[in-house]
Amino acid sequence: TVSIVLFTSDLRLHDQPALRAALDATDAVVPLFVRDDAVAEAGFAAPNRAAFLADCLTDLDHSLRERGGRLVIRSGDLVEEVCRVVTEADADEVHLAEGVSAFARRREERLREALESEGRRLFVHEGVTTALPPGAVTPASSDHFAVFTPYFRKWSEQHLRHPLGAPRTVRVPDGIGSEKVPARGDVRGVSAGLAAGGESEGRDRLTAWLRRDAGAYEDQHDDLAGDATSRLSPHLHFGTLSAAELVHRARRKEGAGPAAFVRQLCWRDFHHQVLAARPDASHADYRAREDHWRTGRDAEQETEAWREGRTGYPIVDAAMRQLAHEGWMHNRGRLLAASFLSKTLYVDWRTGADHFLSLLVDGDIANNQMNWQWVAGTGTDTRPHRVLNPVRQAHRYDPDGAYVRRWVPELAGVEGKAVHEPWTLEGFDRAGIDYPEPVVGLSEGLDRFRRARGRD
Ligand code: FAD
């Protein structure tokens, strides 16, 4: 007997319930990945994610080969390709991790119908993409939590599935054709500093980070230059690491650092459960705006300056340049850059979210859109009118200016606190620096925001 394991956002062998169930059920298994045309058509296959994905598939194929198997890769319409492989392998069943996005769920339904019409069965495995599946904890009066803290409290009380080890052997039937495994080098337009992908890389990073850095996470996660966060987000996005395993491993360590890390992992589940309950929040405001709120200004020139990292606010520009160079940005940078666009410039959050998605290697709809909405004040923030002051934040989270000097080389020679306020430099000190004046004054931005929100 043969079964198919369809890999989607779970490109790993450890803690892989779909693979484990398939191996238990049948003599041979076809590990399948389909490069779904619909993902590219939706504009979601940005170069940085395509390159990281190529690493993940290469590593997955390698790990399967070490166990006597291999990865089968196809492209096209996912449902049609799975049905084709099912016929070729004469498989009885297909195993798949439950999708948490609306897109994945629609696709799952189509797949179920297509397989059942041919007398084959689809098994969907829950709690693989997130630590707890959306809907696993709900408040008494609603289908999802709209506020993080009570969600976190309930989430923390839940029993998490115990993570599974990787299988030792995987027997794949002969004669199933596969495309060549894509290589990162085949993808154009990739950020020069993009991190490497793949389960092996993710596991090494996780182990090293938990051993070396997790202890200091609580104190240092907001220090922009210290770069002390785990950088595991792309691995969570592609599922090269399991969220449940991360929670288990962090909980085994004592102290405030690992506990704070688990809390951040809960944010990921939180946003997923919001979006699962309100799929329209991927593009529509989660909270209906008060009538007098305008959707945002049309400020193409200022927006372009923001995209290019030349707003004249060094901390914002540093963050935007890190994004362009690495396809990743520090969380504090994301908060500052998003607040600057959506509040100081008062540009619609969707414009910023689209730009982030075109570059972020960890870019996913739930975390990106819901964080953008949170910052813009249209989402789940309980203080939607707060505005982050980029200068004050810069002094606080980049006190020595090292982050700015790293990413904005024009300012590398500026000494002291002026690195965060180059407009205060005068005469000779200013003359030699090819760096723009601020696109907008902070008080002007604040006034406009307050007027727009009727807070005058
Ligand atoms: P760590 O600090 O090590 O945290 C560990 C893990 O917890 C992260 O890998 C991530 O999975 C999760 N996490 C941490 N903070 C958040 C958060 N605020 N929301 C959800 N999950 C969180 N994260 C994405 O994974 N994809 C995105 O597309 C994305 N877009 C964002 C857009 C904006 C405007 C903002 C403010 C935040 C966004 N985030 C996104 C959340 C957060 O910035 C990143 O998850 C984090 O910076 C990743 O770095 P890390 O792995 O080193 O995080």
User: Is the pLDDT at 436 greater than 80, yes or no?
Assistant: yes
Residue bearing the CA closest to ligand 1, atom 52: 231
Helices (H), 118-216: 148-157, 199-212
Q: Tell which atom from ligand 1 comes closest to the C-alpha of 230.
A: 3
pLDDT at residue 452 in the model? 81
Q: Which residue has the higher pLDDT, 223 or 128?
A: 223
pLDDT at residue 342 in the model? 94
Q: How far is the CA of 290 from the centre of ligand 1 (A)?
A: 28
Q: How far is the CA of 206 from the centre of ligand 1 (A)?
A: 15
Q: What is the spatial order of strands in the sheet that 72-76 belongs to?
A: 72-76, 28-36, 2-7, 93-97, 121-125
Q: CA–CA separation, 387 vs 123, rounded Å?
A: 46
Contact 422, 313 (CB under 8 A): no
Ligand 1 pocket mutation pick from 371, 375, 397 by most atoms within 8 angstroms of CB: 371
**What's the rounded mean pLDDT across residues 14-32?**
96
The answer to whether the Cα torsion of 337, 338, 340, 345 is positive or negative is positive
Q: How far is the CA of 261 from the centre of ligand 1 (A)?
A: 11
* Residue (of 389, 381, 327) closest to 355 by Cα position: 327
Tens of pLDDT, residue by residue over 297-318, are 779 999 999 999 999 999 999 9
Tens of pLDDT, residue by residue over 105-133, are 999 999 999 999 999 999 999 878 999 99
234: confidence class by pLDDT, cuts 50, 70, 90 = very high
User: Is the pLDDT at 292 greater than 60, yes or no?
Assistant: no
For residue 389, give every residue at least 6 positions away whose Cβ sits within 8 Å of its Cβ, in sequence order, or none.
Answer: 442
pLDDT at residue 127 in the model? 79
Pairing of strands 72-76, 28-36: parallel
295: confidence class by pLDDT, cuts 50, 70, 90 = low
Q: How far is the CA of 54 from the centre of ligand 1 (A)?
A: 22
Q: How far is the CA of 448 from the centre of ligand 1 (A)?
A: 29
pLDDT at residue 201 in the model? 98
Percentage above 90 pLDDT, the chain: 88
Q: How far is the CA of 124 from the centre of ligand 1 (A)?
A: 27
428: confidence class by pLDDT, cuts 50, 70, 90 = confident
Q: Tell which atom from ligand 1 comes closest to the C-alpha of 363.
A: 28
pLDDT at residue 297 in the model? 79
Cβ atoms within 10 Å of 434's Cβ, excluding its own: 6
Q: Which residues line ligand 1 (CB under 6 A)?
A: 221, 229-233, 236-237, 261, 264-265, 267-268, 271, 331, 334-335, 338, 356, 360, 362-364, 367-368, 371-372, 375
CA distances from 263 to 148, 247, 256 (A): 10, 9, 10
What phi, psi does 387 have (nearest 5°)? -125, 130
Q: How far is the CA of 60 from the centre of ligand 1 (A)?
A: 24
For residue 340, give every residue at least 6 positions away whose Cβ sits within 8 Å of its Cβ, in sequence order, or none.
Answer: 306, 311, 313, 316, 388, 390
Q: CA–CA separation, 233 vs 39, rounded Å?
A: 20
102: confidence class by pLDDT, cuts 50, 70, 90 = confident
pLDDT at residue 318 in the model? 98
Ligand 1 pocket mutation pick from 129, 233, 334 by most atoms within 8 angstroms of CB: 233
Q: CA–CA separation, 366 vs 373, rounded Å?
A: 10
* Residue (of 396, 403, 360, 369) closest to 237 by Cα position: 360
* Residue (of 226, 165, 240, 225) closest to 195 by Cα position: 240
* Residue (of 125, 104, 117) closest to 38 by Cα position: 104
For tokens 């907008």, the residue is 440
**What's the rounded mean pLDDT across residues 361-386?**
94
User: Is the pLDDT at 293 greater than 80, yes or no?
Assistant: no
Q: In this structure, what is the dihedral angle of CA atoms 97, 102, 108, 112, given to the nearest 10 degrees?
A: 140
**161: which DSSP letter?**
P
Q: Which domains does the chain have, with CATH numbers?
A: 2-128 (3.40.50.620), 130-159+200-277 (1.25.40.80), 300-452 (1.10.579.10)
Q: Could you give the 3-state DSSP secondary structure of residue 231? A: coil
Tell me: ipTM over 0.95: yes
